[in-house]
Chain A
Protein backbone atom coordinates (compact mmCIF):
# COMPACT_ATOMS: atom_id res chain seq x y z
CA UNK A 1 0.00 0.00 0.00
CA UNK A 2 1.42 3.36 -0.92
CA UNK A 3 1.36 6.42 1.31
CA UNK A 4 -1.59 7.59 -0.77
CA UNK A 5 -3.64 4.48 -0.06
CA UNK A 6 -3.36 2.54 -3.30
CA UNK A 7 -1.54 -0.62 -4.24
CA UNK A 8 1.24 0.41 -6.63
CA UNK A 9 2.30 -1.60 -9.63
CA UNK A 10 4.91 -4.18 -8.67
CA UNK A 11 8.38 -2.95 -9.65
CA UNK A 12 10.33 -4.90 -12.21
CA UNK A 13 12.87 -7.08 -10.46
CA UNK A 14 16.29 -7.92 -11.84
CA UNK A 15 19.80 -8.69 -10.66
CA UNK A 16 21.22 -5.67 -8.88
CA UNK A 17 17.86 -3.93 -8.98
CA UNK A 18 15.56 -5.56 -6.44
CA UNK A 19 13.02 -3.35 -4.69
CA UNK A 20 10.59 -4.09 -1.86
CA UNK A 21 10.33 -6.40 1.11
CA UNK A 22 10.66 -10.05 0.23
CA UNK A 23 9.27 -13.15 1.85
CA UNK A 24 11.33 -16.35 1.73
CA UNK A 25 9.05 -17.53 -1.08
CA UNK A 26 9.64 -14.31 -3.03
CA UNK A 27 13.38 -14.82 -2.73
CA UNK A 28 13.05 -18.45 -3.76
CA UNK A 29 10.92 -17.57 -6.79
CA UNK A 30 13.11 -14.65 -7.87
CA UNK A 31 16.27 -16.73 -7.47
CA UNK A 32 14.79 -19.47 -9.65
CA UNK A 33 13.86 -16.80 -12.20
CA UNK A 34 17.44 -15.47 -12.08
CA UNK A 35 16.17 -12.07 -10.92
CA UNK A 36 17.40 -11.95 -7.33
CA UNK A 37 20.68 -10.32 -6.35
CA UNK A 38 22.90 -13.08 -5.05
CA UNK A 39 26.56 -12.12 -5.29
CA UNK A 40 29.14 -14.73 -6.13
CA UNK A 41 29.24 -15.08 -9.91
CA UNK A 42 32.15 -17.50 -9.96
CA UNK A 43 29.90 -20.53 -9.62
CA UNK A 44 31.37 -23.92 -8.86
CA UNK A 45 30.13 -26.54 -11.29
CA UNK A 46 32.13 -29.50 -10.05
CA UNK A 47 35.31 -30.45 -8.24
CA UNK A 48 36.93 -33.79 -8.88
CA UNK A 49 39.51 -35.10 -6.42
CA UNK A 50 41.67 -38.16 -6.77
CA UNK A 51 40.34 -41.25 -5.06
CA UNK A 52 41.91 -43.81 -7.38
CA UNK A 53 44.33 -43.61 -10.30
CA UNK A 54 42.60 -42.70 -13.56
CA UNK A 55 43.59 -42.22 -17.18
CA UNK A 56 41.42 -39.13 -17.51
CA UNK A 57 39.07 -36.83 -15.65
CA UNK A 58 35.82 -36.08 -17.45
CA UNK A 59 33.44 -33.21 -16.81
CA UNK A 60 30.16 -34.12 -18.49
CA UNK A 61 27.86 -31.53 -16.95
CA UNK A 62 29.62 -28.28 -17.80
CA UNK A 63 26.40 -26.24 -18.18
CA UNK A 64 27.59 -24.65 -21.41
CA UNK A 65 24.07 -23.40 -22.03
CA UNK A 66 24.36 -21.20 -18.92
CA UNK A 67 27.97 -19.98 -18.99
CA UNK A 68 29.85 -18.43 -21.90
CA UNK A 69 33.10 -18.44 -19.91
CA UNK A 70 34.35 -21.36 -17.83
CA UNK A 71 37.27 -21.27 -15.42
CA UNK A 72 39.16 -24.38 -14.41
CA UNK A 73 41.74 -24.75 -11.66
CA UNK A 74 44.26 -27.57 -11.68
CA UNK A 75 45.89 -28.33 -8.38
CA UNK A 76 48.52 -30.91 -7.45
CA UNK A 77 48.32 -32.84 -10.71
CA UNK A 78 50.58 -35.90 -10.49
CA UNK A 79 51.16 -38.55 -13.11
CA UNK A 80 52.50 -42.09 -12.93
CA UNK A 81 54.67 -41.32 -15.98
CA UNK A 82 56.55 -38.37 -17.38
CA UNK A 83 53.82 -36.66 -19.36
CA UNK A 84 52.13 -33.52 -20.51
CA UNK A 85 48.67 -32.57 -19.37
CA UNK A 86 46.09 -32.07 -22.12
CA UNK A 87 42.38 -31.39 -22.54
CA UNK A 88 39.81 -32.36 -25.17
CA UNK A 89 36.26 -31.26 -25.85
CA UNK A 90 33.14 -33.29 -26.56
CA UNK A 91 29.89 -32.42 -28.33
CA UNK A 92 28.10 -35.67 -27.36
CA UNK A 93 28.14 -35.40 -23.58
CA UNK A 94 31.43 -37.22 -23.21
CA UNK A 95 30.69 -40.28 -25.32
CA UNK A 96 33.56 -39.29 -27.60
CA UNK A 97 36.10 -36.48 -27.44
CA UNK A 98 37.36 -34.50 -30.42
CA UNK A 99 40.92 -35.35 -31.43
CA UNK A 100 41.54 -32.80 -34.19
CA UNK A 101 41.00 -29.14 -35.18
CA UNK A 102 42.87 -27.78 -32.17
CA UNK A 103 45.23 -24.87 -32.76
CA UNK A 104 47.45 -23.38 -30.12
CA UNK A 105 50.33 -21.07 -29.47
CA UNK A 106 51.99 -21.58 -26.11
CA UNK A 107 55.05 -19.90 -24.70
CA UNK A 108 57.21 -21.32 -21.97
CA UNK A 109 59.95 -20.23 -19.64
CA UNK A 110 61.79 -22.47 -17.26
CA UNK A 111 64.41 -22.34 -14.56
CA UNK A 112 66.95 -24.53 -16.30
CA UNK A 113 67.65 -25.94 -19.73
CA UNK A 114 66.32 -24.01 -22.70
CA UNK A 115 65.30 -20.74 -21.11
CA UNK A 116 62.22 -20.09 -23.16
CA UNK A 117 60.45 -21.17 -26.28
CA UNK A 118 57.23 -21.88 -28.05
CA UNK A 119 54.92 -24.80 -28.69
CA UNK A 120 52.45 -24.23 -31.48
CA UNK A 121 50.26 -26.07 -33.93
CA UNK A 122 47.58 -25.49 -36.53
CA UNK A 123 46.57 -29.14 -36.48
CA UNK A 124 46.78 -30.27 -32.89
CA UNK A 125 44.89 -33.15 -31.35
CA UNK A 126 44.12 -31.48 -28.00
CA UNK A 127 44.38 -28.35 -25.92
CA UNK A 128 47.87 -28.92 -24.62
CA UNK A 129 50.45 -27.88 -22.02
CA UNK A 130 48.03 -27.44 -19.15
CA UNK A 131 51.02 -28.68 -17.23
CA UNK A 132 54.17 -30.78 -17.46
CA UNK A 133 54.15 -33.77 -15.16
CA UNK A 134 56.98 -35.83 -13.76
CA UNK A 135 56.74 -39.23 -12.16
CA UNK A 136 59.16 -38.55 -9.34
CA UNK A 137 58.29 -37.29 -5.89
CA UNK A 138 57.13 -33.68 -5.74
CA UNK A 139 56.90 -33.36 -9.51
CA UNK A 140 53.46 -31.96 -10.21
CA UNK A 141 51.53 -29.44 -12.25
CA UNK A 142 49.34 -26.55 -11.15
CA UNK A 143 47.49 -24.02 -13.23
CA UNK A 144 44.30 -22.47 -14.46
CA UNK A 145 42.43 -22.24 -17.73
CA UNK A 146 39.63 -20.14 -19.16
CA UNK A 147 37.28 -21.51 -21.82
CA UNK A 148 35.21 -19.20 -24.02
CA UNK A 149 32.06 -19.93 -26.05
CA UNK A 150 32.03 -23.67 -25.44
CA UNK A 151 28.28 -23.86 -25.87
CA UNK A 152 27.92 -21.46 -28.80
CA UNK A 153 27.39 -23.38 -32.03
CA UNK A 154 28.13 -20.28 -34.12
CA UNK A 155 31.59 -19.56 -32.72
CA UNK A 156 34.89 -21.28 -32.24
CA UNK A 157 35.73 -22.50 -28.75
CA UNK A 158 38.66 -20.46 -27.42
CA UNK A 159 40.80 -20.96 -24.33
CA UNK A 160 43.65 -19.27 -22.48
CA UNK A 161 45.76 -20.84 -19.79
CA UNK A 162 48.77 -20.55 -17.55
CA UNK A 163 50.48 -23.27 -15.55
CA UNK A 164 53.43 -23.80 -13.25
CA UNK A 165 54.93 -27.27 -13.12
CA UNK A 166 57.85 -29.10 -11.65
CA UNK A 167 58.51 -31.19 -14.68
CA UNK A 168 60.20 -34.48 -15.45
CA UNK A 169 63.55 -32.75 -15.96
CA UNK A 170 63.32 -31.39 -12.42
CA UNK A 171 62.85 -27.89 -13.83
CA UNK A 172 60.21 -25.42 -12.84
CA UNK A 173 58.42 -24.49 -16.05
CA UNK A 174 55.68 -22.00 -16.80
CA UNK A 175 53.43 -22.41 -19.81
CA UNK A 176 50.97 -19.80 -20.97
CA UNK A 177 49.10 -19.58 -24.18
CA UNK A 178 46.00 -19.42 -26.29
CA UNK A 179 44.13 -22.28 -27.82
CA UNK A 180 41.16 -22.76 -30.09
CA UNK A 181 38.98 -25.56 -31.35
CA UNK A 182 38.39 -24.07 -34.78
CA UNK A 183 35.03 -25.60 -35.59
CA UNK A 184 31.66 -24.02 -34.91
CA UNK A 185 30.30 -26.73 -32.65
CA UNK A 186 28.43 -26.57 -29.37
CA UNK A 187 30.52 -28.42 -26.79
CA UNK A 188 29.04 -29.99 -23.68
CA UNK A 189 31.83 -31.96 -21.99
CA UNK A 190 35.57 -31.81 -21.49
CA UNK A 191 38.32 -34.22 -20.52
CA UNK A 192 41.64 -33.61 -18.76
CA UNK A 193 44.24 -36.32 -19.25
CA UNK A 194 47.97 -37.04 -19.08
CA UNK A 195 49.65 -37.85 -22.37
CA UNK A 196 51.10 -40.98 -20.77
CA UNK A 197 50.35 -43.07 -17.72
CA UNK A 198 47.60 -42.24 -15.28
CA UNK A 199 46.82 -39.48 -12.82
CA UNK A 200 47.85 -40.54 -9.34
CA UNK A 201 46.77 -37.35 -7.65
CA UNK A 202 44.73 -34.31 -8.67
CA UNK A 203 42.17 -31.75 -7.65
CA UNK A 204 40.41 -30.15 -10.59
CA UNK A 205 37.59 -27.65 -10.24
CA UNK A 206 35.40 -26.29 -13.00
CA UNK A 207 33.54 -23.02 -12.53
CA UNK A 208 31.14 -21.01 -14.63
CA UNK A 209 31.35 -17.22 -14.67
CA UNK A 210 27.77 -16.04 -14.47
CA UNK A 211 26.65 -12.92 -16.28
CA UNK A 212 23.38 -11.09 -16.79
CA UNK A 213 21.91 -9.19 -19.70
Chain B
Protein backbone atom coordinates (compact mmCIF):
# COMPACT_ATOMS: atom_id res chain seq x y z
CA UNK B 1 0.00 0.00 0.00
CA UNK B 2 1.31 3.40 -0.91
CA UNK B 3 2.14 5.33 2.22
CA UNK B 4 4.14 8.33 1.20
CA UNK B 5 5.50 10.50 -1.56
CA UNK B 6 9.26 10.76 -1.92
CA UNK B 7 10.60 13.80 -3.70
CA UNK B 8 12.75 13.10 -6.76
CA UNK B 9 13.18 16.24 -8.82
CA UNK B 10 11.79 19.68 -9.59
CA UNK B 11 12.05 21.54 -12.86
CA UNK B 12 11.50 25.20 -13.63
CA UNK B 13 11.75 26.54 -17.13
CA UNK B 14 10.93 29.77 -18.94
CA UNK B 15 10.85 30.64 -22.62
CA UNK B 16 11.19 27.19 -24.12
CA UNK B 17 8.96 25.10 -26.32
CA UNK B 18 9.70 21.88 -24.45
CA UNK B 19 10.85 20.69 -21.04
CA UNK B 20 12.50 17.31 -20.56
CA UNK B 21 12.49 15.85 -17.06
CA UNK B 22 15.21 13.24 -17.30
CA UNK B 23 16.31 10.28 -15.20
CA UNK B 24 13.33 10.36 -12.86
CA UNK B 25 12.02 6.82 -13.33
CA UNK B 26 14.16 4.11 -11.78
CA UNK B 27 13.82 0.67 -10.27
CA UNK B 28 13.13 2.25 -6.88
CA UNK B 29 9.44 2.94 -7.52
CA UNK B 30 6.63 1.46 -9.58
CA UNK B 31 4.34 4.48 -9.33
CA UNK B 32 5.20 8.15 -9.76
CA UNK B 33 3.34 11.36 -9.11
CA UNK B 34 4.00 14.60 -10.97
CA UNK B 35 2.40 17.83 -9.78
CA UNK B 36 2.41 21.20 -11.48
CA UNK B 37 1.02 24.61 -10.64
CA UNK B 38 2.67 26.66 -13.37
CA UNK B 39 2.00 26.56 -17.10
CA UNK B 40 2.03 29.92 -18.87
CA UNK B 41 2.06 30.53 -22.60
CA UNK B 42 3.98 33.31 -24.35
CA UNK B 43 3.28 34.43 -27.88
CA UNK B 44 0.47 32.10 -28.80
CA UNK B 45 -3.13 31.61 -27.82
CA UNK B 46 -4.98 28.59 -26.53
CA UNK B 47 -2.27 26.00 -26.25
CA UNK B 48 -2.47 22.48 -24.87
CA UNK B 49 0.19 21.04 -22.62
CA UNK B 50 1.38 17.91 -24.41
CA UNK B 51 3.41 14.99 -23.04
CA UNK B 52 5.68 12.34 -24.43
CA UNK B 53 7.88 9.84 -22.65
CA UNK B 54 11.67 9.53 -22.80
CA UNK B 55 13.26 6.15 -23.41
CA UNK B 56 16.22 4.53 -21.66
CA UNK B 57 18.66 6.83 -23.46
CA UNK B 58 16.67 9.96 -22.73
CA UNK B 59 15.40 10.17 -26.29
CA UNK B 60 11.84 11.31 -26.76
CA UNK B 61 9.38 8.63 -27.86
CA UNK B 62 7.49 10.30 -30.69
CA UNK B 63 6.31 7.24 -32.54
CA UNK B 64 2.65 6.33 -32.74
CA UNK B 65 2.79 4.29 -29.55
CA UNK B 66 0.29 5.99 -27.26
CA UNK B 67 -3.37 5.30 -26.60
CA UNK B 68 -5.31 7.93 -24.72
CA UNK B 69 -8.79 9.00 -23.78
CA UNK B 70 -9.67 12.36 -22.27
CA UNK B 71 -12.91 13.83 -21.04
CA UNK B 72 -13.12 17.61 -21.15
CA UNK B 73 -15.71 19.78 -19.46
CA UNK B 74 -16.04 23.53 -19.72
CA UNK B 75 -17.59 25.73 -17.08
CA UNK B 76 -19.01 28.11 -19.69
CA UNK B 77 -20.48 25.49 -21.99
CA UNK B 78 -22.73 22.51 -21.44
CA UNK B 79 -21.84 18.93 -22.12
CA UNK B 80 -18.40 17.50 -22.44
CA UNK B 81 -15.91 16.74 -25.14
CA UNK B 82 -14.27 13.39 -25.58
CA UNK B 83 -10.86 13.02 -27.16
CA UNK B 84 -9.60 9.51 -27.70
CA UNK B 85 -7.22 7.58 -29.87
CA UNK B 86 -6.02 4.02 -30.22
CA UNK B 87 -2.81 5.23 -31.73
CA UNK B 88 -1.22 8.66 -31.59
CA UNK B 89 2.21 10.12 -30.90
CA UNK B 90 1.54 11.86 -27.59
CA UNK B 91 -0.14 11.20 -24.26
CA UNK B 92 -3.36 12.73 -22.96
CA UNK B 93 -3.04 16.48 -22.52
CA UNK B 94 -3.34 18.52 -19.37
CA UNK B 95 -4.17 22.19 -19.42
CA UNK B 96 -5.56 24.37 -22.15
CA UNK B 97 -4.63 27.98 -21.58
CA UNK B 98 -4.35 31.32 -23.26
CA UNK B 99 -1.60 33.94 -23.27
CA UNK B 100 -2.27 35.42 -19.85
CA UNK B 101 -0.09 35.00 -16.78
CA UNK B 102 -2.99 35.01 -14.34
CA UNK B 103 -4.39 31.97 -16.06
CA UNK B 104 -2.54 28.74 -15.61
CA UNK B 105 -3.12 25.25 -14.47
CA UNK B 106 -3.07 22.83 -11.61
CA UNK B 107 -2.65 19.15 -12.30
CA UNK B 108 -1.46 15.90 -10.84
CA UNK B 109 -0.37 13.04 -13.07
CA UNK B 110 0.32 9.48 -11.97
CA UNK B 111 2.55 7.18 -14.01
CA UNK B 112 2.70 3.42 -13.56
CA UNK B 113 5.47 0.95 -14.42
CA UNK B 114 7.64 3.26 -16.55
CA UNK B 115 10.92 1.58 -15.71
CA UNK B 116 9.71 -1.98 -16.25
CA UNK B 117 10.98 -2.91 -19.70
CA UNK B 118 8.52 -5.79 -19.92
CA UNK B 119 5.45 -3.68 -19.22
CA UNK B 120 3.49 -0.97 -20.94
CA UNK B 121 3.57 2.41 -19.19
CA UNK B 122 0.24 3.70 -17.95
CA UNK B 123 -0.82 7.14 -16.82
CA UNK B 124 -3.79 9.02 -15.50
CA UNK B 125 -4.17 12.74 -14.98
CA UNK B 126 -6.69 15.35 -13.99
CA UNK B 127 -6.24 19.06 -14.56
CA UNK B 128 -7.91 22.34 -13.86
CA UNK B 129 -6.94 25.21 -16.13
CA UNK B 130 -8.17 28.65 -17.13
CA UNK B 131 -8.47 29.89 -20.69
CA UNK B 132 -10.07 33.29 -21.20
CA UNK B 133 -9.67 33.38 -24.99
CA UNK B 134 -13.02 34.39 -26.51
CA UNK B 135 -14.66 34.69 -23.10
CA UNK B 136 -13.96 31.16 -22.12
CA UNK B 137 -12.94 30.12 -18.62
CA UNK B 138 -12.35 27.02 -16.59
CA UNK B 139 -11.43 23.83 -18.43
CA UNK B 140 -11.62 20.43 -16.74
CA UNK B 141 -9.71 17.49 -18.18
CA UNK B 142 -9.43 13.95 -16.93
CA UNK B 143 -7.50 11.50 -19.02
CA UNK B 144 -5.77 8.17 -19.26
CA UNK B 145 -2.86 7.09 -21.43
CA UNK B 146 -0.86 4.02 -22.19
CA UNK B 147 2.43 3.74 -24.02
CA UNK B 148 1.87 0.41 -25.74
CA UNK B 149 5.43 -0.54 -26.48
CA UNK B 150 7.03 -2.49 -23.65
CA UNK B 151 10.30 -0.68 -23.07
CA UNK B 152 12.14 1.12 -20.30
CA UNK B 153 11.03 4.71 -19.80
CA UNK B 154 13.22 7.07 -17.79
CA UNK B 155 11.66 10.51 -18.18
CA UNK B 156 8.96 12.67 -19.64
CA UNK B 157 8.73 15.65 -21.98
CA UNK B 158 6.20 18.47 -21.69
CA UNK B 159 5.77 20.67 -24.74
CA UNK B 160 3.53 23.04 -26.65
CA UNK B 161 2.72 23.11 -30.34
CA UNK B 162 3.35 26.84 -30.79
CA UNK B 163 4.99 29.64 -28.87
CA UNK B 164 7.01 29.17 -25.72
CA UNK B 165 5.98 28.49 -22.18
CA UNK B 166 6.86 28.81 -18.54
CA UNK B 167 6.57 25.57 -16.63
CA UNK B 168 7.23 24.19 -13.19
CA UNK B 169 6.73 20.66 -11.93
CA UNK B 170 7.87 18.30 -9.20
CA UNK B 171 8.23 14.54 -9.44
CA UNK B 172 7.68 12.07 -6.59
CA UNK B 173 8.00 8.37 -6.14
CA UNK B 174 5.04 6.71 -4.48
CA UNK B 175 6.47 4.41 -1.82
A49 contacts B by Cβ under 8 Å: no
A122 touches B4 (CB 8 A): no
B5 touches A121 (CB 8 A): no
Select B130's contact among A15, A177, A180, A212, beta carbons within 8 Å: A180
CB distance from B101 to the nearest CB of A (A): 7
Select A160's contact among B6, B79, B106, B137, beta carbons within 8 Å: B106
Chain A positions 154-209 with a Cβ under 8 Å from a chain B Cβ: 154-156, 158-160, 162, 176-180, 182, 184, 209
A42 contacts B by Cβ under 8 Å: yes
Interface size on A, residues (CB 8 A): 41
A155 touches B37 (CB 8 A): yes
A39 touches B6 (CB 8 A): yes
Q: Given known contacts A118-B80, A120-B78, A212-B10, is B141 in contact with A146 (CB within 8 Å)?
A: no
Select B101's contact among A42, A69, A154, beta carbons within 8 Å: A154
User: Binary interface profile of B, 107-135, with partner A (CB < 8 Å = 1, else 0)?
Assistant: 11000000000000000001111100000
A97 contacts B by Cβ under 8 Å: no
Q: Given known contacts A39-B175, A122-B76, A182-B130, is B106 in contact with A158 (CB within 8 Å)?
A: yes
Note all chain A residues with C-beta closer than 8 A to B7.
15-16, 39, 41, 210-212
A24 contacts B by Cβ under 8 Å: no
- Which residues of A pack against B, CB within 8 Å? 15-16, 39-42, 68-69, 103-107, 118, 120-122, 146-149, 152, 154-156, 158-160, 162, 176-180, 182, 184, 209-213
Interface CB pairs A-B, < 8 A, 16: A40-B5, A41-B4, A41-B6, A41-B7, A104-B75, A120-B75, A122-B75, A147-B106, A156-B103, A156-B130, A158-B105, A160-B108, A178-B128, A180-B75, A180-B137, A212-B10
